[in-house]
Amino acid sequence: MRKKIIIAVDGYSSCGKSTLAKDLAKELNYIYIDSGAMYRAVTLYFMDENIEIKDTNAINAALEKIQIRFRLNEILSRNETYLNDRNVEELIRSPQVSSRVSEVSAIKEVRQFLVKQQKEMGKERGIVMDGRDIGTVVFKDAELKLFITADVEVRAKRRHLEMMEKGISITIDEVKQNLDHRDHIDTHRAESPLYKANDAILIDNTILTRPQQLKLISNLAKKMIEEISENEANSQTE
């Protein structure tokens, strides 16, 4: 029997973490969770309800009213984010939410609220989760930790293309500024800043294609699952 593991994928904004984590989960038949979507959903709620992000009481009261779920869209065969039963999958990717999400995700109460739910989602293992603190806070015991990076110019180009395809009008410079801004806040915040866990494997995908990256990492993951399963089987027969 194959043992199910936890795979934590962390890294900077727009370096292909979600694409990789999604592809990997599909390949391994694991659950994929986009933790960034959860921070984006909270940000959208705070924007809609005009929550003052320095007002801790207002934040705590707002968090009590927030329920985030992922549901499968069978037609698009992807998980979509629901905020209080409203499908917000597209809305949370808007430039407006992108420009506010780092500030909201630096709030201690928001992190505690979401980390608790993320830990719960990994209880059965067999999960690939991507974000900024997955290998360092949410799943410190993940069997496989990856830290993804890529050249910032390449990241800006990739994200710009994605946004143009969705019909969002924005310049490459604006995209790059948003990435720089988010990276700065994500790595400098007091609460769970983004950094590479000591036991995480660093992957720079600047010159890797999506299939190349997937092949490299899925081979790694399968080898690890094999080894862990064998060790477990051996220790049971000893």
Smallest distance, Å, CB 223 to ligand DC?
A: 26
Nearer to ligand DC, 30 or 225 (CB): 30
Bridge partner residues of 11 (DSSP): 148
| Torsion sign over Cα 162, 167, 171, 176 | negative
Cα–Cα distance measured from residue 110 to residue 28, given in angstroms and rounded to the nearest whole number: 31
Determine the 3-state secondary structure of 126 from DSSP: coil
Nearer to ligand DC, 22 or 182 (CB): 182
Residues forming the site for ligand DC (CB under 6 A): 13, 35-36, 39-40, 101-102, 105, 131-134, 182, 186
Nearer to ligand DC, 122 or 131 (CB): 131
Smallest distance, Å, CB 91 to ligand DC?
A: 13
Nearer to ligand DC, 3 or 100 (CB): 100
Nearer to ligand DC, 172 or 228 (CB): 172
Smallest distance, Å, CB 101 to ligand DC?
A: 4
Determine the 3-state secondary structure of 14 from DSSP: coil
Smallest distance, Å, CB 104 to ligand DC?
A: 8
Smallest distance, Å, CB 182 to ligand DC?
A: 4
Identify which of 159, 135, 148 has the alpha carbon closest to the alpha carbon of residue 217. 148
The residue ranges of DSSP E strands in 58-210, in sequence order, are: 68-73, 78-83, 86-87, 127-131, 144-149, 201-204
Give 123's contacts (C-beta < 8 A, 6+ positions apart). none
